[in-house]
């Protein structure tokens, strides 16, 4: 039985690593990866395949950055002949990227069943491009695999009709990968190599349009970093999108002049995990980092008005902080440094076994001879 997973961006790779690892144990399945090329910078792409032991994609469409419509159109055109040739019994897509939407849509239009992993999440903010991808991908899929209770509730409320997809609460593939590579990450000693001490620095990742695509949003980020740097060293592995915006809005020099701030290239998965696990606080707008900090019990401030991952706030260590003033950010950072943060707990089914559950369910559901 042939299964194709369509991936294209950094968070996709972290999740597909768990699925590929789980399917590897089922010899009746030929699990292969198709890469759209949405992320092509080696710091966001090749290093993940190598560190997470993901096999080479059978096909790389090499699409790269473009306007969303051109990117999607090229993905659809590129995927059709691949699906025609490979004749998969199922196409799996993960998360909320354009690659997930394109993979699901191309398969659906060709009558191939689609499984969406990390389904049901909703920020209820339709200005986020990812929110539209989530809604559409869920609606065109046949099997939906959910990471948290809110995902089940959202799907129940939003999907209707006689042929609704089958929904399963299987946990979080991103956490599978974290559990599997945690020891290897520790061995990188990434924070020591940067001259830092455990629990004595803040780790920052920011790349969402709401924070970095406007002069106002980015100036808020710079002001936040100015406050953070007064307390402890700050590490900022910078996404290429953020780097471009800093230059565009003339804020690069101001940021680079901050003494306690280290701006880094995007980190490999193992190095980043080591930096995260030893941070006193993470400040982010990433989806995946909210999940990872909750699992690790690291205080997390998410600079967004909404989250599609409410369990990280309700059960975990995450707190939303839209448009923070310097005063509020100072108070929050001090709470993190003084261990005055909520304790948090690990959400149900985030146990490193999500990929195994998904593989077993799909193998039981798909016709044997496909
Ligand atoms: N990550 C990484 N290196 C970095 C920043 C993030 O390996 O420099 C990992 C992080 O641990 C998580 C994933 O990338 O597993 C999240 O990707 P991203 O924030 O780009 O996407 P999102 O989750 O927001 O869609």
Query: What digits encode the pLDDT tens for the residues 289-336?
Result: 999 999 999 999 999 999 999 999 999 999 999 877 888 999 999 999
CA atoms within 13 A on the CB side of 219: 5
Identify whether 207 is a catalytic site residue. Answer: yes
Q: Is 353 helix (H, G, I), strand (E, B) or coil?
A: coil
Ligand 1 centroid vs 83 CA: distance in angstroms? 28
Ligand 1 centroid vs 110 CA: distance in angstroms? 32
Catalytic residue among 35, 116, 207, 239: 207
10 Å CB burial of residue 366 (0-12, 13-18, 19+) is: middle
Ligand 1 centroid vs 57 CA: distance in angstroms? 20
DSSP state of 304: S
Alpha-carbon gap, residue 241 to 211, rounded angstroms:
11
Determine whether the shortest distance from the Cβ of 88 to ligand 1 is under 6 A. Answer: no
Mutate to test the pocket of ligand 1, among 205, 238, 268, 282 (most ligand atoms within 8 A of CB): 205
Q: Are 50 and 21 in contact (CB under 8 A)?
A: no
Supply the DSSP string of 56-98, one letter for each residue: PPSEE----S--HHHHHHHHHHHHHHHHHHH--SEEEEETTSH
DSSP state of 275: H
Q: Are 41 and 240 in contact (CB under 8 A)?
A: yes
Q: What does the pLDDT read at residue 162?
A: 67
Q: What does the pLDDT read at residue 64?
A: 87
Determine whether the shortest distance from the Cβ of 10 to ligand 1 is under 6 A. Answer: yes
Other Cβ atoms within 10 Å of 322 Cβ, number: 12
Alpha-carbon gap, residue 17 to 6, rounded angstroms:
12
Q: Is 1 helix (H, G, I), strand (E, B) or coil?
A: coil
Q: Left if phi > 0, otherwise alpha if psi is -120 to 50, otherwise beta: which for 268?
A: beta
Ligand 1 centroid vs 289 CA: distance in angstroms? 6
Mutate to test the pocket of ligand 1, among 10, 97, 264, 267 (most ligand atoms within 8 A of CB): 10
Q: What does the pLDDT read at residue 42?
A: 80
Which among 33, 32, 43, 34 is positioned nearest to 10, based on CA atoms?
A: 43
Determine whether the shortest distance from the Cβ of 292 to ligand 1 is under 6 A. Answer: yes
Rg of the chain over Cα atoms, rounded to whole angstroms, equals: 20
Q: What does the pLDDT read at residue 370?
A: 65
Residue whose CA lies nearest to ligand 1 atom number 2: 269
Q: What does the pLDDT read at residue 369?
A: 66
Q: What does the pLDDT read at residue 44?
A: 86
Residue whose CA lies nearest to ligand 1 atom number 15: 288
Query: What letters, b where the CB count within 10 A reaches 16 and e where it falls short, cover 329-358?
Result: bbebbebbbeeebeebebbebbbbbbbbbb
> Which ligand 1 atom lies nearest to the CA of residue 273?
11
Q: Is 305 helix (H, G, I), strand (E, B) or coil?
A: coil
> Which ligand 1 atom lies nearest to the CA of residue 286?
24
Alpha-carbon gap, residue 104 to 124, rounded angstroms:
21
Listed as ranges, residues in the chain with pLDDT below 70 are 162, 369-370
Determine whether the shortest distance from the Cβ of 14 to ligand 1 is under 6 A. Answer: yes
Q: DSSP H helical segments within the chain, as ranges? A: 10-23, 46-51, 68-86, 98-109, 129-140, 149-158, 173-187, 190-193, 209-212, 215-231, 240-248, 252-256, 269-277, 287-296, 311-314, 326-337, 354-365
Say how far residue 263 (Cα) sits from the centre of its chain. Answer: 21
CA atoms within 13 A on the CB side of 358: 36
10 Å CB burial of residue 41 (0-12, 13-18, 19+) is: middle
Q: What does the pLDDT read at residue 38?
A: 87
Q: Which residues make Cβ contacts (< 8 Å) with residue 358, sequence separation at least 6? A: 19, 22, 115, 117, 145, 168, 170, 173
pTM over 0.85: yes
Q: What does the pLDDT read at residue 65?
A: 86
> Which ligand 1 atom lies nearest to the CA of residue 205?
5
> Which ligand 1 atom lies nearest to the CA of residue 290?
23
């Amino acid at each position: 039985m042939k299964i194709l997973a369509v991936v294209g961006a950094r968070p996709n790779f972290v999740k597909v690593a768990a699925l590929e690892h789980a399917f590897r144990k089922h010899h009746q399945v030929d699990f292969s990866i198709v890469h759209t090329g949405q992320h092509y910078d080696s710091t966001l792409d090749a290093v993940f395949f190598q560190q997470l032991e993901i096999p080479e994609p059978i096909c790389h469409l090499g699409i790269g950055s473009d306007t969303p419509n051109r990117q999607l159109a090229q993905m659809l055109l590129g995927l059709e002949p691949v699906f025609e040739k490979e004749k998969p019994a199922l196409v799996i897509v993960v998360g909320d990227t354009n690659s997930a939407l394109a993979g699901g849509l191309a398969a659906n239009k060709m009558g191939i069943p689609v499984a969406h992993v990390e389904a049901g999440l909703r920020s209820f903010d339709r200005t986020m491009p990812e929110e539209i991808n989530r809604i559409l991908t869920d609606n065109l899929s046949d099997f939906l695999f959910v990471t948290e209770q809110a995902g089940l509730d959202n799907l129940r409320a939003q999907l209707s009709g006689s042929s609704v997809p089958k929904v399963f609460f299987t946990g979080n593939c991103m956490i599978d990968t974290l559990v599997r590579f945690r020891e290897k990450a520790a061995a990188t000693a990434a924070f020591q190599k940067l001259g830092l001490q455990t629990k004595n620095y803040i780790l920052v990742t920011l790349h969402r349009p709401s924070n970095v695509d406007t002069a106002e949003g980015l100036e808020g980020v710079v002001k936040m970093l100015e406050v953070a740097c007064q307390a402890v060293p700050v590490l900022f592995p910078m996404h290429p999108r953020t780097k471009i915006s800093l230059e565009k809005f003339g804020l690069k020099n101001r940021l680079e002049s901050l003494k306690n701030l280290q701006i880094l290239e995007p980190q490999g998965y193992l190095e980043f995990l080591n930096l995260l696990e030893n941070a006193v606080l993470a400040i982010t707008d990433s989806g995946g980092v909210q999940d990872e900090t909750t699992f690790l019990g690291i205080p997390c401030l998410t600079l967004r008005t909404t989250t599609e991952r409410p369990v990280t706030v309700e059960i975990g260590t995450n707190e939303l902080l839209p448009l923070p003033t310097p005063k509020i950010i100072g108070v929050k950072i001090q709470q993190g440094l003084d261990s005055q943060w909520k304790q948090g707990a690990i959400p149900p089914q985030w146990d490193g076994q999500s990929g195994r559950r998904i593989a077993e369910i799909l193998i039981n559901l798909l016709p044997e001879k496909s």
